[in-house]
Amino acid sequence: MGKIVAGMATVHAPQLITRPPDNPAEMLDASIAAMRRLGKTLDEVRPDAIVLIGIDHVEAFSLEAIPTFAMVISERATAEFGPRKYSLPIHQPLALGLLDGLLERGFDMTFSQKAILGHAFAVPFEYILEDRAIPVVPFLVNVYLPPLPRPRRCAALGAAIADIVRQRDERVAVIASGGMSHYPGTEKYPHPEYDFDRWAIERMEEGDLEALLDLTLDQLDEVGNGELLAWFVMFGAIGNCRGTLLSYQPLWHHGHGVLQFKAEAPDGRAIIP
């Protein structure tokens, strides 16, 4: 029987790769080190596949068509950011099984065989997956262009993913790429809501994920945390469990959060970060 064996949440700020001088190097390095700790946890978990829940910054899709939920089912996941390019194998049996199963469960999924993924995928490919040959299944959640999926609809998608996995044979890790507080392209860009980020992290550490799923889209937008919708998919997949904060860095324009939730070795041992 298949199983969700890990849940992780990570920042994907492009500055982690571009390293502009107005972003303190020690803060960027702390975020990168935390992401690499997630990679080390994957070495112990040894999943057969990773479901990577990311978002689109109008890179994979355009205003011609913006899907609410989408997945990539080609043979390889291609991501590009600046001069860097990534190509990881996609676990096609799992991808196709998830696509069919989600349609059966009432999720009208969009799928692509040609989407080029942006930095929401490139950054975790760079610092979490690194050279690990673990096949992935990329999912994208619309978090920027209304109408957006509600928090509990995102969690329901995650729960459906877990239900499908249980009927299969794979051990699956779920990594959510997004957040925390920032306001790209707006006058609020230099004013992240650090206090909200810390409140949200406390809820995750206490295992009170329901409090976050009760937030409205307007509330998430007000605090610059619309990208948490990707994390909410992961919440639905892992259930209401505690998270462990690996790093939170309050950069002048962006709260960087990295957390590990459940992680289980093949022998059933819980992996404590």
List pLDDT tens digits, range 237-262.
Answer: 999 899 999 999 999 999 999 999 99
Instruction: Decide: 190 and 252 in contact? Cβ < 8 Å.
Output: yes
- In a domain? residue 268: no
- In a domain? residue 253: yes
Strand partners, 53: 139, 176
- In a domain? residue 77: yes
Percent of the chain residues topping a pLDDT of 90 = 93
Is the pLDDT at 58 greater than 90? The verdict is no
Give the domain extent around 213.
Answer: 3-263
- In a domain? residue 211: yes
> What is the DSSP secondary structure assignment for residue 266, as one 8-state letter?
T
- In a domain? residue 153: yes
CATH code of the domain containing 130: 3.40.830.10
- In a domain? residue 63: yes
Is the pLDDT at 63 greater than 90? The verdict is no
List pLDDT tens digits, range 119-139.
Answer: 999 999 999 999 999 999 999
Which of 142, 161, 175 lies closest to 52, judged by CA? 175
183-203 mean pLDDT:
96
- In a domain? residue 270: no
Locate all alpha helices (DSSP H) within 135-269, ordered by sequence. Answer: 151-166, 194-206, 209-213, 217-222, 228-238
Which of 62, 48, 65, 52 lies closest to 7, judged by CA? 52
State residue 249 phi and psi, 5-degree precision: -120, 115
When divided into structural domains, the chain yields a total of 1
- Structure confidence at residue 144 as a pLDDT band (50, 70, 90): very high
- In a domain? residue 135: yes
